[in-house]
A = this chain, B = another copy of it.
Amino acid sequence: MIIILQPHATPQSVEYRQLMDYLTNRPNIQTRVHQEVGALQTLTEIYLIGDTASLDQAEIEHQPGVERVVRVSEDYRILGCHQDDRRPTGFDYNGVLFSQNTLNVFAGLCAVDIPAHVEQMLKALRDNGQVCTRMGAYKPRTNPYSFQGHGKACLPWVFELAGKYGIKVIAMEIAHDSHLDEIREALEKTGKPTGVMLQIGTRNTQNFELLKIVGRQREFPVLLKRGFGITLEESLNAAEYLASAGNRNVVFGLRGMKTNMGDPHRNFVDFAQVPVVKRLTRMPVCIDPSHSVGTRERAPDGLLDVMHVTAQGVVAGANMILVDFHPHPTKALVDGPQALTLAELPWFLEDVAIARAAYEKRRLLAEREARKSDK
Chain A positions within 8 Å of B, measured between CB atoms, are 75, 77, 81, 100, 140-145, 148, 175-176, 178, 203-204, 206-210, 227-234, 237-238, 240-241, 244-245, 257-265, 268-276, 278-279, 292-293, 297-303, 305, 307-309, 311-313, 315-317, 343, 347, 350-351, 354-355, 357-358, 361-363, 365-367, 369-370, 373
Residues of B close to A351: CB separation below 8 A = 362, 365-366
Selected contact of A233 from candidates B140, B228, B263, B301, CB within 8 Å = B263
22 contacts between A and B (CB under 8 A): A140-B208, A140-B209, A142-B237, A148-B208, A175-B207, A203-B208, A204-B206, A204-B207, A232-B261, A257-B268, A272-B308, A272-B312, A275-B299, A301-B317, A301-B363, A302-B369, A303-B363, A312-B312, A347-B365, A347-B366, A354-B365, A355-B358
**Which of A227, A297, A362 is packed against the most chain B CB atoms within 10 Å?**
A362
Q: CB distance A272 to B309 under 8 Å?
A: yes
The residue of chain B having its C-beta at the shortest distance from the C-beta of A49 within the complex is: B145
Please report the C-alpha to C-alpha distance between residue A183 and residue B286 in the assembled complex, in whole angstroms: 39
Closest chain B residue to A297, Cβ basis: B279
Whole-angstrom CA separation of A141 from B300 in the bound complex = 29
Given known A-B contacts A268-B270, A271-B312, A278 and B261 have beta carbons under 8 A apart: no
* Set B77, B203, B210, B245: member contacting A206, Cβ < 8 A: B203
Residue numbers in B under 8 Å from A308 (CB-CB)? 272, 274-275, 315-317
Q: Say whether chain A's binding surface is mostly helix, strand, loop, or mixed.
A: helix
- Determine whether the beta carbon of A315 is less than 8 Å from that of B305: no
Number of identical monomers bound together in the oligomeric complex: 4
A356 to chain B, nearest CB (A): 9
Check A209 against B176 for contact (C-beta < 8 Å).
yes
Given the complex, which residues of B lie within 8 Å of A204, measured CB to CB?
206-207
Known: A100-B300, A203-B207. Contact between A272 and B292, CB under 8 A? yes
Known: A272-B293, A309-B316, A311-B316. 18 other contacts (CB 8 A): A75-B143, A203-B206, A229-B229, A231-B260, A232-B263, A259-B259, A265-B272, A269-B270, A269-B272, A271-B312, A272-B305, A276-B297, A303-B366, A312-B315, A312-B316, A315-B315, A315-B355, A343-B373
Verify A81–B272 contact, CB threshold 8 A: no
Q: What is the minimal beta-carbon distance from A135 to any residue of chain B, in angstroms?
A: 19
Q: Which of B234, B264, B297, B361 contacts A142 (CB 8 A)?
A: B234
- CB closest residue in chain B, given A263: B231
- A227 vs B204: C-alpha distance when bound (angstroms): 11
CB pair A261–B262 under 8 Å, yes or no, is no
CB <8 Å contact, A305 and B292: no
B258 touches A265 (CB 8 A): no
Shortest Cβ distance from A344 into B: residue: B369
Closest 5 CB pairs of A and B: A229-B229, A269-B272, A275-B299, A203-B206, A358-B358
Interface centre among A207, A237, A245, A351 (most CB of B within 10 A): A207
A207 touches B207 (CB 8 A): yes
Instruction: Indicate which residue in B148, B258, B272 contacts A230 across the interface (CB closer than 8 Å).
Output: B258
CA distance A315 to B172 in the complex (A): 30
State whether B298 touches A279 (Cβ < 8 A): yes
Which of B229, B300, B312 contacts A81 (CB under 8 A)?
B300
Q: Which residues of B contact A292 (CB under 8 A)?
A: 272
